[in-house]
Amino acid sequence: MIMVDCVEMASTSVNPSTLLPLELVDKCIGSRIWVIMKNDKEIVGTLSGFDDYVNMVLEDVVEFENTPDGKKVTKLDTILLNGNHITMLVPGGEGPEV
Amino acid sequence: MVNEKDDSQRKKKESIVDLSKFLDKKVRVKFQGGREATGILKGYDQLLNLVLDGAIEHLRDAEDPTVIGDETRNLGLIVARGTAITVVAPSDGMEQIPNPFANADE
């Protein structure tokens, strides 16, 4: 369980009634998530967990490369996805249309 | 001179931008790598991660990836990573104009 200590986060007032992005990702643990990278790569998998840098542990992963249009590369088992190049996260997402 | 240093070394890290004015408004977000998306800002954090609702990604031309074309795809509720964001702008306050620098070759 990831607990974020809001007091430490900062005194800049992020009004607590807004939805925190990492909370949304946390709610997605156990479900499918669609991860869009900075380049033309996208990953869909079941989210096992993530860390402060949003490196992610995913299972039952399908990898999509958009440009060459050889869209699918399927990997099973568990992967550690380096968070460095993650651009967008879509909780419950299915991935790009096949 | 030492006093100036104290002032700029505040213990608390205050953000230089205030995104609260964009809450529940449509914003256009540009990313490193050339992606662009628009959506309604539902939440954010200190690190500039965003929650966008009803997000639409604006796709680039297949021939020229530096040009944002007309094609879009719907993404829905997304988290945009602050580490990848370059620009956050109001969606309503923008329009495309002809190049004002068009006659630059003199």
Q: What is the mean pLDDT of residues A1-17?
A: 55
pLDDT band at residue A10 using 50, 70 and 90 as cut-offs: very low
List, as ranges, residues 10-69 from B with C-beta within 8 Å of A. 12-15, 20, 23, 31-33, 35, 37, 42-46, 49-51, 55, 57
Please say whether the beta carbons of B26 and B39 come within 8 A.
yes
CB contact (8 A) between residue B43 and residue A21: yes
Considering only CB atoms, A18 lies closest to which of B32, B33, B42, namely B42
SS (H, E, C) A30-45: CCEEEEEECCCEEEEE
Closest CA to A90 of B31, B52, B33: B52
Tokens describing residue A81: 């996805």
d(CA A55, CA A48): 11
pLDDT for position B12: 67
Mean pLDDT of A12-38: 88
Residue B87 has phi, psi (to 5 degrees) of: -135, 135
Distance from chain centroid for Cα A95: 12
Partners of B37 on chain A (C-beta within 8 Å) are: 88
pLDDT of res. A34 = 95
Task: Kindly report the pTM of this predicted structure.
Answer: 0.79
- With tokens 């460095």, the residue in question is A84
Report how far residue A6's alpha carbon sits from residue B50's, in angstroms, rounded to the nearest whole number: 17
H helix runs in chain A, sequence order: 6-9, 21-27
For residue A86, give the 3-state DSSP assignment: strand
For residue A54, the chain B residue with the least C-alpha distance is B81
pLDDT confidence of residue A46: 95
Which of A9, A36, A85 is nearest residue B46 as measured by Cβ atoms? A9
Task: Please list the pLDDT of chain B residue by residue as tens digits (106 residues).
Answer: 555 555 556 566 777 788 989 999 999 999 999 999 999 999 999 999 999 999 999 988 767 767 777 788 999 999 999 999 999 999 887 777 888 898 765 5
Q: What is the pLDDT of residues A52-85, one digit of tens each?
A: 999 999 999 998 887 777 777 778 789 999 999 9
Q: In whole angstroms, what is the distance from residue B20 CA to residue B8 CA?
A: 24
| A31-44 mean pLDDT | 93
Which residue, among A15, A90, A38, has the nearest Cα to B79 in the 3D structure?
Answer: A90
Cβ within 8 Å, pair A21-B14? no
State whether A22 and B44 contact (CB < 8 Å): no
Residue A55 CA to residue B83 CA, distance in Å, equals 12
Reduced to 3 DSSP states, what percent helix, strand and coil does chain A have, rounded to the nearest 5? 15, 40, 45
Listed residue (B71, B54, B52, B55) closest to B63, CA to CA: B71
Tell me the pLDDT band of A11, cut-offs 50, 70 and 90.
Answer: very low
Q: How many CB pairs under 8 A join A and B?
A: 101
Would the pLDDT of A26 be above 60?
yes
- How near does any CA of chain B get to the CA of A78, in Å? 22
